[in-house]
């Protein structure tokens, strides 16, 4: 009973557990893969902005998979991300679809402008 109340307030405990496991995988990567994966994770937290936990979990699990595989195969970091790491990260995030926080802000901005327009017409 208490677990359901806590989950309602703070989100799924199982999702938090999975997130921590994925972060532990990233943190255990050999360098320079770990540093690159953590930087990409940080960028995705700012850029990705997915609003649902399932999408975030999938994306971060796949991020850990990507860097684990690259480390195991000895693929150079630059070969993975290319010349523009931000473009690579943004393309990576876009592959996961789902709603993003910016969509909520776009709708909010449009609603305020619509209200302002109606107010001007009154």
Candidates 85, 100, 96, 106; CA nearest to 42 is: 85
Please report, in angstroms and rounded to a whole number, the separation of the first and last CA atoms in the chain: 52
Q: What is the pLDDT of residue 47?
A: 80
- Range 2-121 classified under CATH 2.170.190.11: no
Q: What is the pLDDT of residue 53?
A: 77
**CA distances for 77 relative to 32, 45, 60, 74, 85, angstroms:** 8, 20, 18, 9, 10
pLDDT < 50: residue spans in the chain: 9
């Amino acid at each position: 009973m208490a677990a359901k109340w806590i989950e309602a307030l703070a989100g799924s405990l199982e999702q938090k557990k999975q997130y921590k496991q994925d972060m532990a995988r990233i943190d255990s990567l050999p360098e320079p893969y770990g540093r690159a994966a953590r930087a990409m994770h940080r960028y995705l937290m700012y850029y990705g902005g997915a609003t649902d936990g399932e999408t975030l979990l999938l994306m971060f699990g796949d991020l850990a998979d990507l860097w684990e595989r690259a480390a195991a195969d000895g693929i150079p970091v630059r070969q993975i991300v290319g010349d523009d790491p931000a473009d690579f990260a943004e393309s990576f995030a876009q592959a996961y679809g789902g709603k993003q926080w910016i969509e909520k802000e776009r709708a909010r901005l449009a609603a305020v402008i619509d209200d302002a327009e109606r107010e001007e017409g009154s």
